Amino acid sequence: MKFLDQCKIYIRSGDGGGGAVSFRREKFIEYGGPDGGDGGRGGDVWVEAVDGLNTLIDYRYQQHFRAGTGVHGMGRDRAGHNGADVVLKVPVGTEVLEEDRETLVADMDQAGKRVRLLKGGNGGFGNAYFKGPVNQAPRHANPGLPGEEKAIWLRLKLIADVGLVGLPNAGKSTFLAATSAARPKIADYPFTTLTPGLGVVDLSANERFVMADIPGLIEGASEGAGLGVRFLGHVERTAVLIHLVDGTQEDVAGAWRTVREELKAYGEGLAEKPEILALNKIDALDAETRQARAAALAAVAGRAPMLVSGVSGEGVSAVLRAALAKVRAARAEEAGPAADEPPEEPEGWAP
């Protein structure tokens, strides 16, 4: 399945059906009177977040969606049927934006969430609605109201707890494959990963989180170099970032600094997120080189990096435990005080 995380579509709600002008005409019945029914309401356009989807590829081949038109009213006080609604099913984490790609319409961050994007036009009243003691035989009815239409953007931001960042060939895909059941493409050349990937990390029965791997960043990515920073949106929702630095390269300090500068240039709070710094590929280094590279990285980052190898598994568990602790702390902070805690009683007089 191809991965698509941004697309532009056109939506239109249904027009309302017109009211009918009709009179009851039966033999031996005088003064039958008006009996024109109302028109049906036009269909709405909804968006719904569903499980089981991780791409917007369905909207690659169909970009126009139009709800059904309401049926016109008929004689004998028969109202027209309402138009059929259109439901856009999107992956959890999809953002609905206006055509300017900046104004947020809806954030589909929970499975089952449903939002109405456009409301269908109301149906017109038939002439039976207008009858009264003064005008007992109205010969007019209302037309149905037109629907609404506009263009919107769908932008997918994967729901993950932990994000992997680093330069190309830093070992992110290998780390993801070693810690989860995900099977990303792994090779010995840069930009092996062209699309984001997700993996579920199971440390124990009650210790589980989702980790996202995105394509590597290079210097100038914020200006469009390489694959740019387009895929950084998929780690915006994460609670912590694992920054992998390739320990086999000479300038580990420069590698760390390059990625940090690109995160700051992107914005959206990524540079302020908690970061776990890890020196990767230590299985290919001797003890002296490990110590030297770790010291160089600590000097520029201001903290000692964790030593890890996705190939041998050394240090992987410690990194995952540290990430889980950060995730739990962030989620607890978002949740606020426990709801089951009794409220504090005010001091002073009490009956």
Tell me the CB-side half-sphere exposure of residue 124, using CA atoms within 13 A: 21
Query: CATH second-level architecture of 1-156?
Result: Distorted Sandwich (2.70)
CA-closest candidate to residue 279, choices 312, 302, 300, 256: 256
pLDDT tens digits, one per residue of 78-125: 999 999 999 999 999 999 999 998 899 999 989 999 999 999 999 999
Cβ contact 250:170 at 8 Å:
no
Q: How far apart are the first and last CA of the chain?
A: 68
Strands laid side by side in the 104-108 sheet = 64-66, 6-12, 149-156, 94-97, 104-108
Cβ contact 136:33 at 8 Å:
yes
3-class SS string, the chain = CCCCCEEEEEEECCCCCCCCCCECCCCCCCCCCECCCCCCCCCCEEEEEECCCCCCHHHCCCCEEECCCCCCCECCCECCCCCCCEEEEEECCEEEECCCCCCEEEEECCCCCEEEEECCCCCCCCHHHHCCCCCCCCCCCCCCCCCCEEEEEEEECCCCCEEEECCCCCCHHHHHHHHCCCCCCCCCCCCCCCCCEEEEEEEECCEEEEEEECCCCCCCHHHCCCCCCHHHHHHCCCCEEEEEEECCCCCHHHHHHHHHHHHHHHCCCCCCCCEEEEEECHHHCCHHHHHHHHHHHHHHHCCCCEECCCCCCCCHHHHHHHHHHHHHHHHHHHHCCCCCCCCCCCCCCCC
Cβ contact 131:38 at 8 Å:
no
Residue 94: its pLDDT value, please? 93
Query: Is the pTM of the predicted complex or chain greater than 0.75?
Result: yes
- Looking only at the bridges linking them, the beta strands covering 162-165 and 240-246 are parallel
- Looking only at the bridges linking them, the beta strands covering 86-91 and 162-165 are unpaired
Residue 241: its pLDDT value, please? 92
Determine the longest span between alpha carbons in the chain, in angstroms. Answer: 110
Dihedral of CA atoms 342, 346, 349, 351 in degrees, nearest 10, equals -20
CA-closest candidate to residue 262, choices 217, 214, 301: 217
Residue 339: its pLDDT value, please? 46
Residue 112: its pLDDT value, please? 92
Ranges of the chain with pLDDT below 50: 1, 339
What are the extents of the domains in the chain?
A: 1-156, 162-335
Cβ contact 8:64 at 8 Å:
no
Find out if CATH 3.40.50.300 is the number for domain 162-335: yes
